[in-house]
Structure 1
Amino acid sequence: MPAHLNHEEFFASLTSLLNTTSQKARGSVYLTQKPFPSTDSTDSQQQQQPPAILIRATDGNTSAPNPKTKASKTPGKATPSKKVKLSTVVSPEELEAFYARYAEVCKAGMTGLKKRDRKKKNAKGKAAGKVQKA
């Protein structure tokens, strides 16, 4: 697994990932965060100080084949790109400044998003609900 990026590299990579995903017709960016306990301190110090936070970002690409598609490759179809994985560790002291910048980057990356079209879903639901009894 690659090493964690520093904050500036993470923000630059996340910005480019959000831009490339929004320029495509489809795509997703998954953002996750979880506690990252340090292994070098004693147990009593870990309980007093909040743990660092591990922030991850990835696109939806996987190298695993899709079981719903045919096994034969189409000659004109491009091969899927590799999965992009980004991660960084944020210490509790840097958390507020990091989240302020993180929110700015995420908001800027969401400008190209379109609202979901719910009309098709509602039309299907209404049509199914109008079944006449004989």
Structure 2
Amino acid sequence: MTTIDPAAPVLVTGGSGYLASWIVRYLLEDGNTVRATVRNPDKPKGLEHLHKLAEAHPGKLMLHKADLLDDGSYTAAMQGCELVIHTASPFLVGRIDDPQEQLIRPALEGTRNVLAASTRPSRSSGSS
């Protein structure tokens, strides 16, 4: 059985999404340090709920820039994490002309990128 260090940060991908936001909140309320990935942490609108959580839990929530289709963009956020909750997924408003290309391929490729980052040796916090 694998033991997860409760002091290690938890990574939540797609942090601005509805389900991810609740997961982040519950993790913070349980005393965890959370790293949440979003497309743009400096975005002026749409992340207010996460900034409010960060204020309520000082030093416990960090937002990291990551994109599902950008291989390696999750590596920094994952540094030192022992638990990853992957909720990031493509989301489109409006017409979907090619579901395979607009939703399925990005979801699969993005999941592969997150999994690849989770297995990179450099993500551990000091154990070799």
Structure 1 and Structure 2 fold alike (TM over 0.5): no
Q: How high is the TM-score relative to the length of structure 1? A: 0.26
